[in-house]
Amino acid sequence: MPQTLHRFGFNSDAPTLKITSPTLVDSSTQINIVWTSWCDLIYTTTNADNTRSITYTGTSLNTTQQQELTSLTSNINQALANPTCQLYFFGNTMYDGVRGYICDGKITVFGTPAEEAALRSQYHDIEFWTFPPPLAEIRMCSDNSLFLTSKPEPYETGSISNVTNLHAVKAHCTCTTPIDQRASFAPTQLVTNATTTTALSPSGLVYTLTTDPRYPSCLGRPYTGTSSFEPVPYLSETRITKIASGGYMTAAISEDGELFLWGQANPGTAEELGVLHRLDYDSDAAMKRETVIWGDTVQDENVKCLNIHIDGRDAIAYDVAIGFGHMLVAAKGEDEEHVVFSAGCGAEGQLGIGRADDFLQESEEVVAVRGKRVIQLAAAGWSSFVVTEE
């Protein structure tokens, strides 16, 4: 069945236009969002003849960099001819946007205007680095440090390591300079937000790390001051299959469709998501036939377990995305009714509810996609994206 990509919220190509309801971006046999930031959207499409191509929209890349990414002769489009090819983009979602990608044994790095001003004649728009085979993925933090994940070799478990900046990645690639290991497993997912990095282990356990003790709620556990990933105790008996993070919040979904959330509102935001602080929810949602996300009156101090109802019936979560202060949740009910919920910061229309709302404490349904099966949710900055199957 064909898939459709929708967007709402801030659009860097038209910053004065607030898109408050899901708006069509593209349709194809298959769509996969591979990168989002406050100023970028990158996705791949699979066409009827099974060929794949990549599309970039945004403002962080200059013309030369965009051509390298999307031209028919680019490294990516040649690699996409292989159906097993995987792309891993990295960058800073709230500052420079996309900074590069890993594909086919190489790291491609895009320069920025700030680097051009500082490096002058030594500046390169695009650089290509060959990386040691164990390196699998890169994640950039808000302070421009990076986490590198390694694929497990035979009889090994892989690892997560940390470097201070992109120059250190280059040194590691060219000289195999030693780097600091932060975890002794290769994560199935690795996500970052303004203060915290969260890793999902192959066994479904959640680990977090921060070097910023000012926001302990973002860890989902007490702050211990260590520089290694540590497990989130509340989730130690639950197998997690999906994690998402952005701003100052992180969410997780279990294999049974349970939804968990921890963190806080962005500093300076006057309001907070109700599910993070309220203990007075009415548990009669089923009787009232409500479509709602709510929390129990008894909750863990750090991680909140959330309940979902669609038309008063129990529902489960199957996807979640978090931007800079807002959250999207895809859920389905016992009768396979599909709903997307949104909550949080909405001044740019990123909640998709048909209006700009400074802050929505309680989740509201994105009515425009009611009943459509969600293939993928994505959020970054003040923008939201939904891929649906028609």
Give residue 285's pLDDT. 59
pLDDT at residue 287 is higher than 60:
no
Specify the range with the lowest mean pLDDT, choosing from 76-80, 158-162, 340-344, 354-358: 76-80
How far is residue 318 CA from its own chain's centroid? 15
pLDDT at residue 286 is higher than 60:
no
Give residue 86's pLDDT. 81
- The DSSP-derived string for 315-350 is EEEEEEEE-SSEEEEEEEETT--EEEEEEEEETTST
Query: CA quadruple 181, 186, 187, 191: dihedral positive or negative?
Result: positive
d(Cα 366, Cα 286) in Å, to the nearest integer?
Answer: 20
Provide the residue ranges of all domains of the chain, joining segments of one domain with +. Answer: 188-372
pLDDT band at 38 (very low <50, low <70, confident <90, very high): very high
pTM of the model: 0.95
Query: How do residues 108-137 score in pLDDT, each as one tens digit?
Result: 999 999 999 999 999 999 999 887 767 889
Which residue in this structure is represented by tokens 């680019």? 74
The chain-wide mean pLDDT, for the chain, equals: 92
CATH number of 188-372: 2.130.10.30
Give residue 274's pLDDT. 96
Mean pLDDT of 280-304: 83
